[in-house]
Chain A
């Protein structure tokens, strides 16, 4: 989806930045948002406090809410997918084949029949 929205906006985002925080994704404020995700899904409360403040101060409190919502959604939907053993759709397999190798390695092989 990130690739698709970049295409719509006429931009090409660096998907390697998803697994490599030292790279610039090209997504506006992607560094702050990526840090917020890592902190929210981690165990360091001080890191999370800093990341939350950075997002709120830079992007605004409403953006903080929507970023937190997206994190919560994708931290939960994985339970639905992995708990049910749902297969990855054919169209997603084609998209996965276009993903950076490092990202595919981190995720492992998609569940297929």
Chain B
């Protein structure tokens, strides 16, 4: 399989660790996950990219309540309707999702773990494409899917406590569970997708290269990037404000 690399654009002085994280993220997207095959995951990535052109999503985004606008999504036609709804809403209007909406999606044919894996995919392609756009690097075409079956392994310690979906804390890990927390941290945001530990690992492996490792975030005595902690945090605060999110 050949995946075009950002490194193919040598005029862009991107850190080597970030280039490698971007390549790993693409391999993660194209590989079999925990509940979806590589081919299904890439169809979801394509659908997430397509969501920006969906007239229904635009109408809902402009409405006082997205739940007052019925209609059908403009989709690529390769995924079930519920999956398209999940991908489009998370891609275009995540700030106004509700637990009721999530429950309705889960009653329409996908499991909570399948849902969580989709959230991770949409977040990862959002990070990749936002970086490309900000840097004026061409958006990478989708690679070929890697063969294989999903692992279909649900962590037994997951329970619904701090989110709309079951999650795990480090104390809930059982022998054999992948441990995303020791490497990426265990505050709520790292627990959010832990019903599918591979999704936590896949997303945060890229995220820490884009931003900072968890232990570097509060290490104000050391600067890890070409801009200061204060400058990074100002960017973070501004982006979160635009997205209407406390994270």
- Tell me, yes or no, whether A binds B: yes
What number of residue pairs across chains A and B have CB atoms under 8 A from each other?
237
Chain B residue numbers with a CB within 8 Å of A2 are 230, 233-234, 236-237
Among B13-21, B31-39, B69-77, B151-159, which stretch is in contact with chain A? B13-21
Residue of A15, A48, A76, A82 near B207 (CB, 8 A) is: A76
Q: Are B130 and A78 in contact (CB under 8 A)?
A: no
Q: Are A70 and B120 in contact (CB under 8 A)?
A: no
Chain B residue numbers with a CB within 8 Å of A66 are 225-227, 232
Chain A residue numbers with a CB within 8 Å of B146 are none
Chain B residue numbers with a CB within 8 Å of A40 are 130, 133-134
Asked if A30 meets B231 with Cβ closer than 8 Å, knowing A85-B102, A110-B246, the reply is yes
Please give the residue numbers on chain A whose beta carbons come within 8 Å of chain B beta carbons, in ascending order: 1-2, 4-6, 8-9, 11, 13, 15, 18-19, 25, 27-30, 33-34, 36-38, 40-41, 48-49, 52, 59-89, 92, 96, 103, 106-108, 110
**Complex A-B: 24 CB contacts under 8 Å:** A1-B218, A1-B237, A4-B220, A11-B230, A33-B238, A34-B235, A40-B133, A48-B133, A59-B226, A62-B13, A66-B232, A67-B235, A69-B209, A72-B130, A74-B235, A76-B123, A76-B207, A80-B189, A80-B203, A81-B189, A84-B167, A84-B193, A89-B187, A92-B246
